[in-house]
């Protein structure tokens, strides 16, 4: 899969990961990790447990495969959807949210 701005990076389909136990813990814990939450976030808040989150983190953070999934928005919205990419560069990890369909 080729996405503008990502060259020939190792982007792979990640839609199947969204439904796995531990996905939301990984995806959302970062939001609480910056001090935005009153108390320390734990994986159980988002379903699953720490072992589920750890197992899926290995997949989500693999520098050889950058998971991508699409989030569609309701009809009539000016943006048809958002493409989410786990950019797993060794020294520059991030989750990118791109305009897409």
Number of domains in the chain: 1
Q: Beta 92-100 vs 66-72: how paired, if at all? A: unpaired
1 located within any domain: no
pLDDT of amino acid 64: 92
Per residue in 37-69, pLDDT (tens digit) is: 777 778 888 777 889 889 998 999 899 999 999
92-98 own/partner pairs: CB under 8 Å, 24+ apart: 93/61, 95/27, 95/30, 98/3
58 located within any domain: yes
50 located within any domain: yes
Other residues' Cβ atoms within 10 Å of the Cβ of residue 17 = 19
Domain with 42, as residue range(s), is 11-100
Whether 97 and 84 have beta carbons less than 8 Å apart is answered as yes
6 located within any domain: no
40 located within any domain: yes
Other residues' Cβ atoms within 10 Å of the Cβ of residue 48 = 20
**Residue 3 parent element (H or E):** none
48 located within any domain: yes
pLDDT at 17 over 90: yes
2 located within any domain: no
């Amino acid at each position: 899969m080729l996405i503008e701005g990502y060259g020939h990076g190792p982007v792979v389909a990640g839609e199947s990961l969204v439904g796995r136990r531990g996905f939301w813990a990984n995806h959302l814990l970062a939001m609480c990790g910056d001090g935005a939450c009153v108390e320390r976030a734990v994986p159980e808040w988002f379903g699953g447990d720490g072992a589920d989150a750890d197992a899926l983190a290995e997949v989500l953070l693999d520098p050889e495969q950058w998971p991508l999934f699409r989030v569609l928005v309701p009809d009539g919205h000016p943006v048809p959807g958002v493409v989410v990419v786990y950019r797993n560069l060794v020294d520059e990890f991030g989750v990118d949210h791109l305009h897409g369909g």
